Structure 1
Amino acid sequence: MKGIRTVEALADGILQVADWVTLHITVWVLLGAGLYLTICSGAVQIRFFPRMVKTVLSSRKGAEGGISSFQAFAISLAARVGIGNVFGVAAALLMGGPGAVFWMWVVALVGMATAFFEATLAQVFKVRANDGTFRGGPAFYIARGMKSRVMAKVFAVITVVTCGFVITSVQSNAVASTLTSVFGEAANQPIPGFGEISAADLTVAGLIFVFTAMVIFGGIRQVARVTEWMAPIMAIIYVVMVFIICVLNAGRFGEVVGQIFSSAFAPQPLVGGLGGGILAAVINGTKRGLFSNEAGQGTAPNAAATATVAHPVSQGFIQSLGVFVDTIIVCTTTAFVILIAGPEVWGGEDVNPANLTTLAVAHELGTWTVVPMAILIFVLAFSSIIAAYVYSDTNMTFLTGQKTWSTWSIRVLSVLSATAGAVLSLDLVWNAVDIAMAVMTVTNLVALVWLSKWGIGALRDYVAQRRDGIEEPVFVGQDNAFLPGDVPGDVWAKHSADDHRE
């Protein structure tokens, strides 16, 4: 018991540190960098929104045997539209009140510009891997653009640990908490000799092990093939389900919006079972918004860099739209469903972030939705786990080179951590992940601001070609008048551009 109390005290202490870091550092750096990138790009997320949609709709072609732009988008969407939209939104509401949703919107709107720059830079500074695909991301653009190998290695190490162990464990832990509730009381009784682990826990852990191993051991190409269809389909099914609830309760739309805005600036928590107050709203809206849409965190660019595209800006558009889909559409509809359900659902004693969204959906559509929601959450979490593997694999490649042992070690680590996360208590890890993501985010945002001239140059090059009547602009990284210098390597050399034109 003493050991348990010590772990709980440590978890609480880490939570306090995470909240302080979020309120005093992350939120200001995140919003400040997002506003700077919005202004210096002329509000790219607004000006080019129609182009973003058109680019996504035509992004399945042009992979030339590699990973298509749409597949790269699907990998990052798989990570974004996952537990963060179900568990994360519920946690933000329970701890930050309805006002947390407003701050999630703010993070997302400026984050669309941040996502554009980090995806564009990931493409500009990417490298070709031995298997013909590409690798890139913050570690690569920090090393190749900022010329700082030390800073790049620090970021890569944090990403390998956070994505390869922490995020995979957190995702499986959250889905296990939800799935075990549908097994019944008998299956959830602890097994003698296994501590608090039940038959339901072992069943979920076994399912996660089998499915993650089947996909992850196949490598990044296999991940791309699976997420290409799974992530969008699951996201659409979930959005349709919660959208139906919103339509059925359209008359309460104004009431819910009023709750969100009044709570966002309320000095004290509102009554009725949800937390709140402006500080709680800012902290939880920022933390959960970042955990959900990843804008500025530095993870999604690892997926963006894998795409085979003719121009880096095209992938920047696609990744920016991903933030909009994740937060403004999926997270918002989830929050509406929970708020519509009312205090009789989110005011219950047994309510927690793992079951709140499921309970809210069941309250509006019937208890028959519990099992479909459990399956849906499993698939969403599973897609996020394999996307996190891609991020850790990319950064392991940066640290060790394209060594067989490093490739397989990160695959094994990802599968084992996901499996273990289903049966372990991870309050400590849940709280620590916010600190890890804060370090990643601040490091990445410093790099984005430092290298913003490269992103702006790429955007100007794209706009100039479009102005000249070129429907699909092609990027050349050498002797480009819009860039501050030549892009290192031969990925964007003139002969590569000629291949795209052909």
Structure 2
Amino acid sequence: MTFIENFFSVLDDLTWGWSLIPLLVIFGVFITLMTGFVQFRYFKRMFAVLSSKDESVNPNSVSARAALMLSVGGRVGGGNIAGVAVAITLGGPGAVFWMWMIAFVGMATSLVECSLAQLFKRKQPDGTFRGGPANTIIYGLGTQYKWLAVIYAICLLAAFGIGFNAFQGNTVAGSVESSLGINRYVTGALLAFFTAIIVFGGIRRIAKVSEVVVPLMAGIYILMALVIILLNLGEIPGVIASIFANAFGVEEAVGGGMGAAIAQGIRRGLFSSEAGLGSAPNVAAAADVRHPISQGITQSFSVFIDTIVICSCTAFVILLGNIYIPGASSIDGVVLTQQSLAYHLGDWTQYLLSLMILLFAFSSIIYNYYLGENAIAVMTQNQMATLALRIATVAVVFLGAIAPGATAVFFFSDPLMGVLAVVNLVAIVMLLPTCLRVLRDYQEQLRRGVQRPVLSPEKFSDLDIDTTAWSGQSLSK
């Protein structure tokens, strides 16, 4: 057991320790430049998915909006509440600025990886679509790289399908027990029950639940933060000035100064948005859209919602209060956010925050399950394997909830996420010219006045695209 722990510790050091974060940042900047700042040029189009008519050609498939909500539900989690608090404590207010910067860079990375997942998706017998980095590798780079896709799938299954679901169950049960005094077994049983109802319903039910749960949880949390901002409107300029001053070393809030702010902000931004990590493209590929880039733009918007909007809500709640102590030696991010909310609005907010954590965690659980299901599909088409994953997901959620120390068993999750991120980066670096080619097709249609560009498979006959996934479409203004 010690050998295994040491192995994953080394793996963690080789990925998250020194190489992966700089790679994600550098490559994100490179993509931003190569695509001509695409995340800013199409920023207005990102909002269209919230108000436009359903893009889906097949009414039984997953819409662009549903895929957006599912990906937001996966990205938004305890890290938006606890992780931001820890980043501010260790890095000072300046960490918020660097969190914003890495989010804007990550929006371009997410657009590329999700557009590629859409391009190489495969239509399933039931009319739905399946894809992601594994499919991108197999059909984009060629079957000689299938071994790389299998490595990716194994890491995705172990990290998201199993490990992170235990963490989510543990987070919910711990929060409910501390705020409401409800026994972990009760919380675990209820969470496992509702998880079973959703995951046994397949991707359509997962998407439909996400369309309801995600706007609800995000809306309540944003509304609560806006109330706090309005109550402290006169202090906003000072807080913003402090964020910028600390970000550039003019004002030192913690030991390490500007360096600590950059490190904490970048790390939080990357972990929260998951841009470049290769998880969100699995969900992006499920959407039924007319052009791969349109879903890439939508998924770029998901990064904006997660980091620029929701993480910022937590940051302002903390920085506008008097609970925050820069560089505190003992940090519990959930408690800091909880106490900051109570300072502004009263003790009743601890119950509302527990509800938020419950919704955030539940949306992450169903998102993590779908990633695991996608990983299984790469390795085998046997339906018994999918059934086994569904049972395992329900069991892991329950076990993670009832045992405070149970998540220590899943120490491999972070290192394996690092490995799948490296594999994903290799794939999108090699296929960036292909994505730029698809982006040019999208831009040319917009220049001709086509309001909703459509992918014509015949234009990309040299690529291994599933033409049935793009059939029956026509250009319309």
Unaligned runs of 5+ in 2: none
* 2:34 alignment counterpart: 40
The Cα shift of 1:266 comes to 4.7
Distance of 2:315 and 2:135 partners within structure 1: 36
Find the partner of 1:141 among 124, 128, 136. 136
**Aligned-partner Cα distance in 1 for 2:394–2:407:** 20
What secondary structure does 2:467 align onto?
Answer: coil
Amino acid across the alignment from 1:361: L
Q: Is the 8 A contact 1:34 1:110 kept in 2?
A: yes
The CA distance in 2 between the partners of 1:214 and 1:163, in whole Å, is 19
Asked if the contact 1:22–1:286 (Cα under 8 Å) also holds between the matched residues in 2, the reply is: no
**Cα pair distance change 1:268/1:52, threshold 3 Å:** closer
Name the structure 1 match of 2:103. 108
Select the residue among 465, 468, 473 that pairs with 1:488: 465
TM-superposed CA distance for 1:25, in Å, is 1.0
Match in the other structure for 2:236: 253
The answer on whether the counterparts of 2:62 and 2:287 sit within 8 Å (CA) in structure 1 is: yes
Matching residue of 1:497: 473
Q: Name the % identity.
A: 38
Paired residues of 2:73 and 2:367 also in contact (CA < 8 A)? yes
Q: How far apart are 1:35 and its partner, in Å?
A: 1.1
Residue 91, structure 1, aligned to residue 109, structure 2: no
In 2: Cα distance, 1:349 partner to 1:474 partner = 54
Distance 1:351 1:49, change over 3 A: same
Please state if 1:207 is matched with 2:186: no
Of the three residues 288, 307, 328, the one matched with 2:268 is 288
The equivalent residue for 1:423 is 402
Contact residue 68 and residue 307 of structure 1 kept, 8 A: yes
Aligned-partner Cα distance in 2 for 1:430–1:360: 31
1:39-65 CA-to-partner distances (Å, cap 9, x unmatched) read 111110011111121244226342512
What does the per-residue CA deviation read over 1:215-252, in whole Å, with 9 as the maximum and x for residues that have no partner?
11111111011001211121011111012112211222
Contact 1:163 1:389 in 2 (8 A): yes
- Counterpart among 120, 125, 146 of residue 125 in structure 1: 120
Provide structure 1 residue ranges, at least 5 long, that are not aligned to the other structure.
Answer: 188-199
Q: Deviation of residue 181 (structure 1)?
A: 1.1
Moved more, 54-63 or 70-79: 54-63
**Structure 1 residue aligned with 2:428:** 448
SS in structure 1 at match of 2:348: helix
What displacement does 1:279 show?
4.6
CA distance in 2, matches of 1:270, 1:434: 29
1:304 aligns with 2:281: no
Q: Which among 190, 193, 200 is matched to residue 217 of structure 1?
A: 200
- Alignment correspondent of 1:436: 416
**Residue 501 (structure 1) shift:** 6.8
- Alpha-carbon deviation of 1:318? 0.5
State the match for 1:171 in structure 2: 168
Note the alpha carbon deviations across 1:307-337, whole angstroms, 9 max, x for none: 1111111101100011111101110111111
What is the root-mean-square deviation of aligned Cα atoms in Å?
A: 2.9
Partner of 1:316: 296
Which whole-Å CA distance do the structure 1 matches of 2:409 and 2:310 have between them? 25
Give the secondary structure class of the aligned counterpart of 1:51.
helix
Q: Give aligned pairs, total.
A: 472
**TM-score with structure 1 setting the length:** 0.86
Moved more, 419-428 or 389-398: 419-428
1:426–1:96 distance in 2 versus 1, CA, 3 Å = farther
- Report the Cα distance in structure 1 between the residues aligned to 2:264 and 2:355, rounded to whole angstroms: 27
SS of the equivalent of 1:478 reads helix
SS at match of 2:211: helix
Instruction: State the 1:392 CA deviation.
Output: 1.0
Residues 41-90 of structure 1: per-residue CA shift (max 9 Å, x gap): 11100111111212442263425121111111111011112222112212
| Separation in structure 2 between the aligned mates of residue 26 and residue 268 of structure 1, nearest angstrom | 29
CA distance in 1, matches of 2:263, 2:415: 13
2:473 match: secondary structure: helix
Deviations 1:89-109 (A, max 9, x none): 123223433333223212211
1:75 maps to what in 2?
70
Change (3 A) 1:166 1:286: farther
Letter of the 1:323 partner, please give it.
V
Q: Which moved more, 1:86-95 or 1:464-473?
A: 86-95
Residue 491 of structure 1, CA deviation: 3.2
Residues 1:431 and 1:276: Cα distance change in structure 2 (over 3 Å): farther
Indicate conservation of the 8 Å contact 1:180/1:201, yes or no: yes
What is the CA-CA distance between 1:464 and the residue it aligns to?
A: 1.3
Does residue 31 in structure 1 map to residue 21 in structure 2? no
Distance 1:149 1:15, change over 3 A: closer
Q: Give the superposition deviation at 1:142.
A: 1.1
Inter-partner Cα distance in structure 1 for 2:327 and 2:341: 15
**CA offsets, 1:5-63, max 9 Å, x none?**
x99xx79x978974774352122111111111111111100111111212442263425
Given the superposition, is the C-alpha separation of residues 276 and 203 from structure 1 closer, same or farther in structure 2, using an over 3 Å criterion?
farther
**CA–CA distance in structure 1, aligned partners of residues 257 and 325 of structure 2:** 21
| Contact preservation (8 Å) 1:478, 1:486 | no
- What is the distance in 1 between the residues matched to 2:170 and 2:245? 33
Which deviates more from structure 2 when the two are superposed, residues 437-446 or residues 321-330?
437-446
